[in-house]
């Protein structure tokens, strides 16, 4: 196989990898914020259910969660799996990362001094205004470093999609390496992952600098 053909095939896999990455962030970030509210809820039932959910998602392998999400509908509801593979990957990744983001959000929100809430109340701010205009900007600044770590981990975790035979970049690299009996494709895939993560790190660093206004 020529280098050009190999790069073309890996490029197609990279597109799938990027799709998994972006869609997971799109769904898991707001979902994580929702779960963080549940985790801090004064309602004991909601708080405990959210706590159990987060514990299960963080305490079991993402690989297992992919298998459950993919095969679960077939064994429970006898629903066919055709065309469900990519959707299952996004669902499993989003639910898993939402649990991690929920704890990051919670730590950020709870790190804000109570006095700021009281000062906002004295100034006539409602709860919604206080959170959106005073608390959340500070929370974003504080959680960018841990969110960056999780985001970089997500880039590498996209390779776990092979569990349900979703052909992303790493899966294609393994297939090419097996067919060609050399590891060149795997080395190129590793370089792609590094460049991807470097790009993500640069973007997140710029976001952190841009939010330094809230120090």
196-214 pLDDT tens trace: 999 999 998 888 888 765 4
What pTM did the predictor assign?
A: 0.89
| Closest C-alpha among 99, 93, 91 to residue 34 | 99
Lowest mean pLDDT among 10-14, 75-79, 102-106, 142-146: 75-79
Helix, strand, coil in percent for the chain, rounding step 5: 85, 0, 15
Phi, psi of 86 (to 5 degrees): -65, -40
Report how many domains make up the chain. Answer: 1
> What pLDDT shows up at residue 100?
96
Please determine, for residue 41, whether its predicted confidence score (pLDDT) is greater than 70: yes
CATH at residue 196? 1.10.3720.10
Please state the rounded mean pLDDT for residues 42-69: 94
> What pLDDT shows up at residue 31?
96
**What's the chain's average pLDDT?**
88
> What pLDDT shows up at residue 136?
86
> What pLDDT shows up at residue 137?
85
* 76's tokens: 């429970």
* 24's tokens: 């997971």
> What pLDDT shows up at residue 21?
95
Position 1 confidence tier, pLDDT thresholds 50, 70, 90: low
Characterize 136-157 residue by residue with b for buried, 16 or more Cβ atoms within 10 angstroms of its Cβ, and e for exposed.
bebbbbbbbebbbebbbebbeb
State the residue range of the domain holding 210. Answer: 3-214
> What pLDDT shows up at residue 80?
67
Angle ∠(4,11,166) on CA atoms, nearest 5: 130
């Amino acid at each position: 196989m020529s280098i050009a053909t190999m790069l073309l095939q890996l490029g197609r896999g990279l597109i799938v990898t990027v799709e998994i990455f972006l869609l997971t962030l799109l769904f898991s970030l707001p979902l994580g914020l929702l779960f963080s509210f549940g985790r801090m809820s004064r309602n004991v039932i909601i708080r405990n259910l959210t706590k159990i959910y987060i514990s299960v998602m963080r305490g079991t392998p993402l690989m297992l969660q992919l298998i459950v999400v993919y095969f679960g509908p077939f064994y429970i509801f006898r629903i066919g799996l055709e065309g469900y593979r990519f959707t299952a990957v996004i669902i499993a990744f989003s639910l898993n990362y939402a649990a991690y983001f929920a704890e990051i959000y919670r730590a950020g929100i709870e790190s804000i001094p109570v006095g700021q809430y009281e000062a906002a109340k004295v100034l006539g701010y409602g709860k919604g205004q206080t959170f959106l205009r005073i608390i959340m900007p500070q929370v974003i600044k504080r959680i960018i470093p841990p969110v960056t770590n999780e985001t970089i981990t997500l880039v590498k975790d996209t390779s776990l999609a092979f569990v349900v035979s979703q052909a992303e970049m790493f899966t294609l690299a393994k297939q090419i390496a097996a067919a060609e009996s050399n590891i060149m494709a795997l080395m190129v895939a590793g370089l792609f992952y590094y460049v991807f993560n470097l790009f993500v790190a640069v973007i997140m660093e710029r976001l952190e600098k841009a939010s330094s206004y809230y120090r």
